[in-house]
Amino acid sequence: MSDTTESAIERSTRDFAATLLEDPAVIEYRSAEAALEGDPEFVRLSESYNGLAQQLQQKQADGSLTQEHINELRALQTQINSHAAAQRFIAARERNAALIHDCNHEISSILGFDFGAVAGPRGGCSC
């Protein structure tokens, strides 16, 4: 009984994943994510942003944070948001999330509880 159930869940997980991986929204999302992570300019911008954000947290804690620092961080954020690879990734993520929401709705209606809410990483969101 247990073995049969285990293979049923393994099989259906594999089939479901394989079906999703053929969908244009999923293909584009994976491609856009790989392009983003492999874009040296975007990686450099992200690292600069994260480094500066960390520095500014310390400055905020010791009271030396100025408007100039905040403007510098905002300028980096604007560069990141307007980066072509980031814009492609954001659009692809939205399309993929819409598909995943639909699938989760289908799954949850059968289970009687929200699969995504229970099965996801504990605490926090995915942003």
Partner 1 sequence: MSNDSAIADRTHIKSAARSFAAAIAETAAVREYSAAVDAVRADDNALQLLQQLQQLRQTLQMNAGWDNSDSPERQRLEELEAEVAQHPVLQRFFASQKTMIDELHSINDRLRQRLGFDFASLARPACNCG
DSSP assignments along 43-111, one per residue? HHHHHHHHHHHHHHHHHHHHT---HHHHHHHHHHHHHHHH-HHHHHHHHHHHHHHHHHHHHHHHHHHHH
Closest to partner 1 by CB, 11 vs 44, is 11
Q: Which of 14, 60, 84, 90 touches partner 1 (CB under 8 A)?
A: 14
Residues 85-124, interacting with partner 1 (CB under 8 A): 93, 96-97, 99-104, 106-111, 115-121
Cβ neighbours of 27 (radius 10 Å): 14
Q: Tell the smallest beta-carbon distance from residue 75 to partner 1 (Å).
A: 16
Q: Tell the smallest beta-carbon distance from residue 46 to partner 1 (Å).
A: 13
7 DSSP assignment: H
The residue ranges that bind partner 1 (CB under 8 A) are: 1-2, 5, 8-24, 26, 29-30, 33, 93, 96-97, 99-104, 106-111, 115-121, 125-127
